[in-house]
C-alpha cells in the first residue's frame, strides 16, 4: 500500500509513499509512486522519493456524482489520470464525466489504492477490483487436491467477488414467489 503524505505549500497535492517494507534483497529506501515515459506511454513505477519531482505529486478529485464509487487520481500537473483499463495501470488523459469507470480509484485509510470492480460492453467484460502494488509477490501455483487434505489442514477459503447473476436471482425470486403462493393456496384451502 501507499501512505498519502501532503506536500508543504501546495493545497491538495500529495506524495504516495510506499507503506510496505522491502522484500529480502531489495533496497529499504522510501519509494514514491512515480510516473515516467517509457516507449511512448506514461507508466507507473515506484522510485526513491525526492520531495521535489513533479512526477511524484498527485491530486485526488472526489467523485462528481452522488453515489459514485471512487474519484480520479491525477498527476498534480497537467490533465493526466491513472487509468486501470488495461492489464497495467497507465497515466492517460483524464476522461470527462463520471461514466468512465477505468479512471476511478478509492484511496483507503490503510494505504490501499483500489480500482473498484466494474464492467464494460453492457456487462460482457467484467473487471475485478484491483490494487496498485509496487512490490507484488510471485504468483502462487495452484494444484488440484483431494478435499480431505485441505479440510484436515484447517485451510479456510475466502470468497472474492461473490455475485449472483441477475438472471439467476430473478429465477430464484420467481421460484420463491411461486412456492409462497402454492403454500398460501394450500393453507387457505384447508
User: Which residues, including other chains, have CB under 8 Å from residue 90's CB and lie 6 or more apart?
Assistant: 41, 42, 43, 44, 82, 83
CA–chain centroid gap for 146, Å, is 33
What is the sign of the dihedral through the CA atoms of 53, 30, 109 and 107?
A: positive
Instruction: Please tell me the predicted confidence (pLDDT) of residue 72.
Output: 92
pTM: 0.66
Bridge partners for 38 per DSSP: 41
Low-confidence ranges of the chain (pLDDT < 70): 20-28, 98, 161, 189-190
Instruction: State the DSSP H helix or E strand holding residue 105, giving kind and residue range, or none if neither.
Output: none
Read off the pLDDT of residues 79-123 as tens digits, 9 standing for 90 and up. 999 998 777 889 999 988 767 788 999 988 887 899 888 877 787
Buried (b) or exposed (e) across 141-174, using 16+ Cβ within 10 A? Answer: eeeeeeeeeeeeeeeeeeeeeeeeeeeeeeeeee
Nearest to 30, CA basis, from 47, 44, 14: 47
Nearest to 132, CA basis, from 52, 35, 63: 35
Amino acid at each position: 500500500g501507499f501512505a498519502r503524505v501532503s506536500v508543504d505549500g501546495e493545497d491538495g497535492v500529495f506524495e504516495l509513499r510506499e507503506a510496505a517494507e522491502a522484500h529480502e534483497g531489495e533496497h529499504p529506501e522510501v519509494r514514491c509512486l512515480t510516473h515516467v515515459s517509457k516507449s511512448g506511454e506514461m507508466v507507473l513505477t515506484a522510485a526513491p522519493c525526492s520531495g521535489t519531482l513533479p512526477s511524484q505529486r498527485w491530486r485526488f478529485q472526489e467523485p462528481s456524482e452522488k453515489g459514485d464509487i471512487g474519484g480520479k487520481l491525477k498527476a498534480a500537473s497537467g490533465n493526466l489520470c491513472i487509468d486501470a483499463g488495461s492489464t497495467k495501470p497507465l497515466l492517460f488523459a483524464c476522461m470527462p464525466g463520471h461514466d468512465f469507470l477505468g479512471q476511478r480509484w478509492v484511496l483507503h485509510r490503510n494505504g490501499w489504492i483500489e480500482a473498484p470492480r466494474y464492467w464494460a460492453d453492457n456487462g460482457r467484460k467484467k473487471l475485478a477490483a484491483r490494487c496498485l502494488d509496487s512490490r507484488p509477490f510471485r504468483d502462487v501455483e495452484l494444484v488440484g487436491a483431494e478435499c480431505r487434505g485441505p479440510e484436515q489442514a484447517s485451510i479456510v477459503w475466502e470468497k472474492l467477488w461473490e455475485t449472483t447473476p441477475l438472471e439467476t436471482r430473478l429465477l430464484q425470486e420467481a421460484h420463491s414467489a411461486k412456492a409462497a403462493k402454492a403454500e398460501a393456496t394450500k393453507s387457505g384451502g384447508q
